[in-house]
A = this chain, B = another copy of it.
């Protein structure tokens, strides 16, 4: 059977029918009064989602990488020293972006599947008595491994330093767990539409603190389309510097309304339940998890099957049940599969994935799995 697809990857994530329909409206002029009103509505809701009153939250057309690149290149100058946290594909990417622009990058690495070590940031920042480190850049939820890095811990180290900006890739954490921008004083937070926002891909978002705007004044890396100063100036008039993705903005407005109806606490609690149920189910089935429970991402769970190949499981899930799971990236390709539980995902979806996975393992002849054990474990979380 076809066309009964279930998307369980960590982005693009499933999109509510009403959001798809909002997107399918006929476009209007981006300089019209009607669009300005939508943009005003969206800008206010984005601030709500980022838990900020003092930061600007700017929308741009592009992927999460575009948003994160904007978050790096607008506030730094060539040769600036930055710390990049690298414990997965995306942390590595931000180090690459920084190097592409001639920043002086010091990588703080951890094994893929392990969290970044806060004390390593502390040590590097404390040793920098001349305050040459201009930014600390890292990924909150590392999508490639399902590990949630210690945002509060790294932030405390940055705040103790006093000079450096904290630049956070929150692409798969924003809208999944709390990213309290004002409370923590986060300078730059980047995210993307196809994740917690319950939207299709195509838009990126960057929140910018007053401290980051002060750094912007002296930052000299070249940029134009990603020049956030232009977005700030336009946003003050609820406009955009370049033609925005009008229909995606329709979708965004509707998706943010749905998020506000659920409420931040509701959204975070749902992701926590989905994460715990998924992990408990994998353990009950006897599948190994890449990250430890106390650093598990609310967005995605990475599973390391021992008795059968990860790609065999993905292929069979796709073929028999039309469920899309993500594979491993870079050196983990073929070794793991990843279950997304981010955005427009409900408890029923988790039960569906777990039950289909159990059936798949039976089909693949994996021994030692107690049929129904995974579903029972997930159900126990939802019942609790």
State whether the Cβ of A221 lies closer than 8 Å to any Cβ in chain B: yes
Partner-binding segment picked from A48-56, A64-72, A154-162, A366-374: A64-72
Residues of B within 8 Å of A9, CB to CB, are 29
Q: Which of B97, B224, B327 is in CB contact (< 8 Å) with A97?
A: B224
Chain A 1-16 near chain B by CB (<8 Å), digits 1 or 0: 0000101010111110
Indicate whether A32 reaches chain B with its CB closer than 8 angstroms. yes
Question: Within residues 15 to 45 of chain A, which ones have a CB less than 8 A from any CB in chain B?
Answer: 15, 20-21, 23-32
Q: Are B28 and A225 in contact (CB under 8 A)?
A: no
Partner of A225, one of B14, B29, B66, B227: B66
CB <8 Å contact, B245 and A245 = yes
Inter-chain contact A222/B102, CB cutoff 8 Å = yes
- Whether, in the assembled complex, A268 has its beta carbon less than 8 Å from a beta carbon of chain B, the answer is no
A151 part of interface (Cβ distance < 8 Å):
no
Looking at A121-129, A194-202, A211-219, A276-284, the stretch in contact with chain B turns out to be A194-202
Asked if A326 is an interface residue, CB under 8 A from chain B, the answer is yes
A5 touching B26 in the complex, CB below 8 Å, given contacts A101-B222, A243-B63, A248-B202: yes
Which residues does chain B contribute within 8 Å of A101, judged by CB atoms? 222, 224
Q: Bound state CA distance, A142 and B115, in angstroms?
A: 52
Residues of A in contact with B (beta carbons under 8 Å apart): 5, 7, 9, 11-15, 20-21, 23-32, 61-66, 69, 96-97, 100-102, 192, 194, 200-202, 221-227, 242-248, 324, 326-327
Beyond A14-B26, A202-B246, 6 additional pairs, beta carbon < 8 A: A15-B27, A31-B326, A63-B225, A100-B224, A200-B247, A245-B248
